[in-house]
Amino acid sequence: MQSKQLLIALILCVCVFSCKQEEKPKVEPVEVIIEPEPITEFGFILKDFIVKRDTIKSGDSFGEILERNHIGYPRIFNIAENAKDSFDIRRLQVGKPYTLLCTNDSLQTPECFIYQPNNIDYVVIKFTDSIETYKGKKPITLVERIASGIVMNNLSETMESQGLPYQLINDMSDIYAWTIDFFRLQKGDRFKIVYKQRFIQDSIYAGIESIDAAYFQHKDEHFYAFNFEVDSTKNISDYFDENTKSLRRTFLKAPVQFSRISSRYNLNRRIKYYGYRLRPHKGTDFAAPIGTPILATANGTVTESTRRGGNGKYVKIKHNGTYSTQYLHMQKQNVKKGAFVKQGDVIGYVGMTGNTGGPHVCYRFWKNGKQVDPFREKLPAAESIPDALKAKYTEFIKPLKLQLDNIQFEDHITDIASQGKTITSKI
């Protein structure tokens, strides 16, 4: 009898518990709507405007672009006058993109003009209630990469065959322009590079940021190069070797990049055309296509920029009381007499003016008023790292040198970020 009572009580408890469970209100699922982040560019929310994009066409001017979009010339003049202290609107280049942000209505009145001289930099001219002009940069991501290679013919072909950016080829040439004669590379010479590439929105390639470290093996000699900031206040950096010595020399080895020497300095030259008579050649000829930029091989002042006889169009530069250089047969000069030029500045372009059988620049070099062969001169080196920074530099290059030494020549191009290196961003 007692067990029956216990069974009945248990059944009643189950029924009561079931009833309570059924009495709970039913919870309906709630739909959560997540609004997407508004698309922004140049610091503006694009959905707030009618966005018109185009490129500068031949004959376009700032005024004509705004006039086509229904802004009158009195207003255009006022905008241009207010903007001129921050940006010269006459410097718009054909082919460069621009953006107009217009009112989001039927009138579509322009309120902002944005010009992009390159992939990263832009200029904003706002002209709503007031006129404001400022410059900005798109956010970029820096990706660290490495590359290596063995020279089979020349450096340019070797790097191009690996798909390396052309800018990287030029930058490598610039780094070693003072220490290695790239016109005399040997088969089997080899290189390693640690460098950073820029990307916009993580996918749009925007050029080389910097070469942080490089190694070149030429004629069984080893040349390290490390990029080190020697003056943080002026943001000045340069390349030095593992012993704190500068790679820079007073003069570049050549006034043109990736050319070839077609005729060397030779005081005993005889030419068949002139009956093998002695006709000394007191310059070094660098063959290159017409229009190739000619670079000043050192800082100095232009003493001549003219055309004369067999020299054709030429530029002569006085570097100091000891050295002068001259660059002959130009297509055209890019500097005037009296101008101060820096090492690497474009002073003219390769041509065929004067007595010449083909496009080249004849590079002449004076020491104490006498023409000499620059390739036989022992030219002074630039300054090395200041003593106060040598300890810092030594610590700075340790991980970079280890990284270079561990790069295998068979690796070619590798994305270091995929190996766990940090991808850094900057605004």
The answer to whether the CB of 280 falls within 8 A of the CB of 266 is yes
CA distance 87 to 80: 9
Domain 40-137 has CATH 3.10.450.350: yes
Contacts of 77 (CB under 8 A, 6+ apart): 63
pLDDT band at residue 181 under the 50/70/90 scheme? confident
The residue whose two tokens read 């970020």 is 417
User: Looking at the predicted structure, is the pLDDT value of residue 201 above 80?
Assistant: no
Assign 3-state DSSP to the chain and report helix, strand, coil percentages, each to 5: 25, 40, 40
Q: Which residue has the higher pLDDT, 141 or 35?
A: 141
Q: Which residue has the higher pLDDT, 293 or 383?
A: 293
Sign of CA dihedral 330, 333, 336, 339: negative
Give the model confidence (pLDDT) of 366-392 as tens digits. 999 999 998 888 777 777 888 999 999
DSSP character for 223? E
CATH superfamily, domain 260-376, is: Glucose Permease (Domain IIA) (2.70.70.10)
pLDDT band at residue 177 under the 50/70/90 scheme? confident
Query: At CA 323, angle to CA 320 and CA 325, rounded to 5?
Result: 115
The answer to whether the CB of 227 falls within 8 A of the CB of 195 is no
* Structure tokens given for 192: 């390693």
pLDDT band at residue 315 under the 50/70/90 scheme? very high
For residue 23, what pLDDT is reported? 54
The residue whose two tokens read 């001549």 is 304
Closest CA to 302 of 315, 283, 314, 313: 315
Above pLDDT 70, what percent of the chain? 84
Same fold yes or no, 141-249+383-426 and 260-376: no
For residue 425, what pLDDT is reported? 46
For residue 421, what pLDDT is reported? 46
User: Looking at the predicted structure, is the pLDDT value of residue 10 above 70?
Assistant: no
Average pLDDT score over the chain: 84
* Structure tokens given for 156: 């340019």
- Write out 230-298 in H/E/C secondary structure: EECCCCEEEEECCCCCECCECCCCCCCCCCEEEECCECCCEEHHHCCEECCECCEEEECCCCCEEECCC
For residue 277, what pLDDT is reported? 60
pLDDT band at residue 144 under the 50/70/90 scheme? very high
CA distance 234 to 324: 29
User: Looking at the predicted structure, is the pLDDT value of residue 317 above 60?
Assistant: yes
CATH class of the domain at 141-249+383-426: alpha beta
Query: Strand 414-415 relative to strand 260-263: parallel, antiparallel, unpaired?
Result: unpaired
Give the model confidence (pLDDT) of 18-76 as tens digits. 555 555 566 666 666 666 778 889 999 999 999 999 999 998 999 999 999 999 989 99
pLDDT band at residue 275 under the 50/70/90 scheme? low
The answer to whether the CB of 376 falls within 8 A of the CB of 108 is no
* Structure tokens given for 167: 């800018």
Q: Give strand pairing partners of 323.
A: 367
Q: Average pLDDT, stretch 259-271?
A: 70
Q: Average pLDDT, stretch 298-310?
A: 92
* Long-range contacts of residues 420-426, Cβ cutoff 8 Å, at least 24 apart: 421/144, 422/144, 423/141, 423/142, 423/143, 423/144, 424/141, 424/142, 425/139, 425/140, 425/141, 425/142, 426/139, 426/140, 426/142
For residue 237, what pLDDT is reported? 87
For residue 39, what pLDDT is reported? 84
For residue 418, what pLDDT is reported? 38
Q: What is the pTM of this model?
A: 0.64
CA distance 316 to 302: 6
- Residue 81's SS3 state is helix
- Write out 359-409 in H/E/C secondary structure: CEEEEEEEECCEEECHHHCCCCECCCCCHHHHHHHHHHHHHHHHHHHHCCC
Q: What letters, b where the CB count within 10 A reaches 16 and e where it falls short, cover 197-230?
A: bbbeeeeeebebbebbbbbbbbeeeebbbbbbeb
Contacts of 167 (CB under 8 A, 6+ apart): 207, 208
Q: Where are the domains of the chain?
A: 40-137, 141-249+383-426, 260-376
User: Looking at the predicted structure, is the pLDDT value of residue 412 above 70?
Assistant: no
User: Looking at the predicted structure, is the pLDDT value of residue 420 above 90?
Assistant: no
